[in-house]
Chain A
Amino acid sequence: DQQVKQNSPSLSVQEGRISILNCDYTNSMFDYFLWYKKYPAEGPTFLISISSIKDKNEDGRFTVFLNKSAKHLSLHIVPSQPGDSAVYFCAARSNSGYALNFGKGTSLLVTP
């Protein structure tokens, strides 16, 4: 049962524009939400996270927004750069568990 869903398998954005990656979840017990970036032949790399008590967290070009009532979060990348081209995974965890629940990922392509 997929508790974290990324419904867009791929996204293409022009360099300099905004990339918006979306994620939905079904488990209202999740307390932390994270985004990971993955290049081919490498393991996922932690990007940014947000606690369920917040609705926004910003780190440089990356901002994560959380809408708890809609069980939805999004990752905004502004401005997008060709080096941002990668697969982005959304993940979530509850306070009582150790496991991260991952979505299937969205492949982002930033074109020059």
Chain B
Amino acid sequence: DTGVSQNPRHKITKRGQNVTFRCDPISEHNRLYWYRQTLGQGPEFLTYFQNEAQLEKSRLLSDRFSAERPKGSFSTLEIQRTEQGDSAMYLCASSLNLVGVIGGYTFGSGTRLTVV
């Protein structure tokens, strides 16, 4: 098991372009989360999947953002018409159970997006 894998590691795009990130969770983990981290801040929750069902979305996830997890395996996060304010590290995490004393998420190394 190689952990949570995110691709690409880095993405530079021009403002107005669409971008898509991919996350491959730990294979037996049925829960998958997307977070965004900007400079000097902690990770901020974007959305959560249990298997293929998207159960919660943050208000941070504007209409330009969409996430999918077909067949409950890998997930994609798409940002349409990117803006400079979208520049951030996008983190994916997975877990077997709800996060609590039984353990935390396993995070991937993230995709760093730079919008120029």
Nearest B residue to A36 by beta-carbon distance? Answer: B104
Give the shortest distance, in Å, between B54 (CB) and chain A (any CB): 11
A→B interface (CB under 8 Å): 4, 6, 31-32, 34, 36, 41-47, 49-51, 57, 89, 91, 93, 97-105
The listed residue (B45, B48, B56, B93) touching A43 by CB distance below 8 A is B93
Interface size class of B (residues with CB under 8 A): 20 to 34
Q: Total number of A-B contacts with CB less than 8 angstroms?
A: 68
**DSSP majority for the A interface?**
strand
Cα A104 to Cα B33 in complex, Å, equals 19
B→A interface (CB under 8 Å): 4, 33, 40-45, 48, 55-56, 58, 91, 93, 98-101, 103-110
**Contact between B107 and A98, CB atoms less than 8 A apart:** no
Return chain A residues, CB-CB under 8 Å to B98: 98
Give 4 closest A-B pairs by Cβ, nearest first: A46-B104, A102-B42, A43-B107, A99-B45
Give the shortest distance, in Å, between B35 (CB) and chain A (any CB): 8
